Amino acid sequence: MLIKTNADGFIHPVASDITPQAAYRRRREMLKLMATGVAGAALATWASREALALERPGKLAALAAAKSNAPGAMTMEKVTPYKDATTYNNFYEFGTDKADPAKNAGTLKTAPWTVEVDGLVKKPGKYQLEDLLKLSAQEERVYRLRCVEGWSMVIPWVGYSMSKLIEKVEPQGNAKFVEFITQADPKTMPFVGSRVLDWPYTEGLRMDEAMHPLTLLAFGMYGEVLPNQNGAPVRLVVPWKYGFKSGKSLVRIRFTDREPRTAWNKAAANEYGFYSNVNPDVDHPRWSQATERRIGEDGLFAKKRKTLMFNGYEAQVGQLYAGMDLKKNF
């Protein structure tokens, strides 16, 4: 049986105006069309995406959202299984092994949660998570996430464009960069006492990068709230940059006129630059960036796939870097 509903009858994702019954019938019609060979390739992709999207994991609270219309926001590639996306993580506050965050992040206290907005901004303040959630309509976006280590995933995120928050808080004219500061609580994050990084983990974007419609403030994934190991309760997702730019468990957003230092740049400036755009032509000093391994899909001996410029988002973001030497600004 292709159509699945959870015990509560929830079909994910459904626009709030469609009843589960209506959605069920609509999908049945589509699948019938496909079986009779009437459907074209586009329809087949649509149906398989719908079938995939139905696999809501049922582990955490639902956070439903309509599919995004933002150009480039819905890759049709196969979504990484939830189990892989939640057990193979980088979240150094909980340990440096890929399996550590899933084991250790249970101690992270995600409520109450506030995000402070400050620096060169007309409306600074402390925003409660609940208020941030309500600030704009949530969308589902299926993004590739490419780690600098050479692996990638495809994740259906739930959130809204960072630009919605930036517009609301009104940066001053001299604000040129945004710094993202994440939680660093030694009581709940066991490795914040370690010297692996200079805590808190911080990241930064140029203002136009932060305002780009693809830059996502994410509260959920796979139709549910974020698991702790993936950056609960709120994180950044910048799909055309290496994964480390996407800071998890954000507590402060600061507007500034200077390029902010970043945690990885402080740790190893020759390996991690400020821009960190996914770029197959610029190798990491210790390994190539030309190919990648898709977690959960490609076996250990499977052929690696070619890494795409800007992680495949060149049409959407290429113009942000017109005239810039991306080998120098790596």
**Binding interface with ligand MTE (CB under 6 A):** 89-93, 145, 147, 153, 182, 201, 230-231, 243-244, 246-249
Instruction: Say how far apart CA 326 and CA 330 lie, in whole Å.
Output: 5
275 binds, among Mo ion, ligand MTE, none (CB under 5 to 8 A by kind): none
End-to-end alpha carbon distance in the chain = 48
Name which of 123 and 286 has its Cβ closer to ligand MTE: 286
- In the complex with Mo ion, the residue whose CB is nearer, 119 or 243, is 243
Footprint of Mo ion on residues 145-164 (CB under 5 A)?
147
* 122 HSE (CA, 13 A, CB side): 10
Q: Please say which residue, 91 or 244, places its beta carbon nearer to Mo ion.
A: 244
| Residue closer to Mo ion, measured from CB, 96 or 114 | 96
Report in angstroms how near the CB of residue 89 gets to ligand MTE at its nearest: 3
> What are the phi and psi torsion angles at 52 (to 5°)?
-60, -45
CB 170 within 8 A of CB 207: no
CB atoms within 10 A of CB 4: 11
**Cβ-based neighbours of 14, under 8 Å, separated by 6 or more:** 20, 23, 64
Strand, coil or helix: 243: helix
Q: Which does 92 bind (CB under 5 to 8 A by kind): Mo ion, ligand MTE, none?
A: ligand MTE
- Segment interacting with Mo ion (CB under 5 A) among 30-38, 88-96, 106-114, 170-178: 88-96
- Among Mo ion, ligand MTE, none, what binds residue 248 when CB lies within 5 to 8 Å by partner kind? ligand MTE
Binding status of residue 92 toward Mo ion by CB under 5 A: no
> Between 67 and 98, whose beta carbon lies closer to ligand MTE?
98
Within the chain, residue ranges assigned H as helices are: 20-35, 41-53, 82-85, 100-104, 129-134, 162-169, 207-211, 263-267, 314-317
Report, in Å, the least distance between residue 293 CB and ligand MTE: 13
Structure tokens at 48: 């398989």
Whichever of 219 and 244 has its CB closer to Mo ion, that residue is 244
Query: Which x/- pattern over 230-249 shows residues binding Mo ion (rule: CB under 5 A)?
Result: -------------xx-----
Question: How far apart are alpha carbons 139 and 159 in whole angstroms?
Answer: 5
Question: What residue 115 binds from Mo ion, ligand MTE, none (CB within 5 to 8 A, per partner kind)?
Answer: none
Residue 260 partner contact from ligand MTE, Mo ion, none using kind-dependent CB cut-offs of 5 to 8 Å: none
SS (H, E, C) 197-241: CCCCCEEEEEHHHHHCCCCEEEEEECCEECCHHHCCCCEEECCCE
Name which of Mo ion, ligand MTE, none residue 160 binds, using a CB cut-off of 5 to 8 Å depending on partner kind: none
Q: 244 or 255: whose CB is closer to ligand MTE?
A: 244
Backbone angles phi, psi at 69, to 5 degrees: -100, 0
Kindly tell me which of 14 and 218 has the beta carbon lying closer to ligand MTE. Answer: 218
Give the single-character DSSP code of 138.
-
In this structure, what token pair is assigned to residue 285?
């000093």
Q: Is 12 exposed, middle or buried (0-12, 13-18, 19+ CB in 10 A)?
A: buried
- Residue 101 touching Mo ion (CB under 5 A): no
CB 178 within 8 A of CB 190: no
Residue 188 interacts with, from Mo ion, ligand MTE, none (CB under 5-8 Å by kind):
none
Question: Which residue's beta carbon is nearest to the bound ligand MTE?
Answer: 243
**Amino acid of residue 203:** E
Size of the site for Mo ion (CB under 5 A): 4
We find the least distance from the C-beta atom of residue 97 to ligand MTE, in angstroms, to be 12
Q: Which residues bind Mo ion (CB under 5 A)?
A: 90, 147, 243-244
